[in-house]
Amino acid sequence: MAKLLTISETARRSGVAASALRYYEERGLISAAEREGSGNHRRYPRPVLRRIAFIVFAQRVGLSLDEIAAELAKLPPQGVPTRADWARLSNTWSGRVDERIAELERLKAGLTECIGCGCLSLDRCKLSNPDDRAARLGAGPRYWLGDRPVAETKE
């Protein structure tokens, strides 16, 4: 049988805090193979490292823990998930990654430009959003959300 990992070994190997591992276990995302000793210490099988890496990656993509749980529920309950299992799960994330890239590009542009928030406090906003014309597009930072400045839209 493969060596089981303690929670501290699992935390060190995965780069995830032990408190997060306990939380993931509480949420049903991972599970200990057994509990040992009077302190009921957790012992994890090595394949849990792959699940944890998947959880961390999925969070970076933008999935919530509920969405991650739903994805992990599609895997076989026993055994090590295969490359095909992981590919099938992550295949649908391409559009989500594209959305995140576009959002980050808008954020980068917004670092030096008006974002259409309605504050009219920056000198640049007076040029890009006079009289808060962006408000016609809706609430919030309209230009950062992807709307074009009102002056550039056809009216």
- In the chain, what are the domain boundaries? 5-92, 97-152
Cβ density class 133-145: b for 16+ within 10 Å, e for less: bbeebeeebbbbb
pLDDT at 79: 62
Rounded distance, CA 25 to CA 121, Å? Answer: 47
φ, ψ (nearest 5 deg) of residue 147: -70, 150
Give the tens place of pLDDT for each residue, 70-119: 988 888 766 667 888 878 877 878 888 888 898 888 778 777 777 778 78
**Residue 105 corresponds to which amino acid?**
E
Please report, in angstroms and rounded to a whole number, the separation of the first and last CA atoms in the chain: 71
pLDDT at 44: 92
Cβ count within 10 A of residue 129: 24
Yes or no: say if 25 and 36 are a contact pair by the CB < 8 Å rule.
no
pLDDT at 150: 66
pLDDT at 37 > cutoff 70:
no
pLDDT at 143: 82
Where is mean pLDDT largest: 10-19, 29-38, 128-137?
10-19
Q: What does pLDDT average to over the chain?
A: 82
The CATH class of the 5-92 domain is mainly alpha
pLDDT at 153: 47
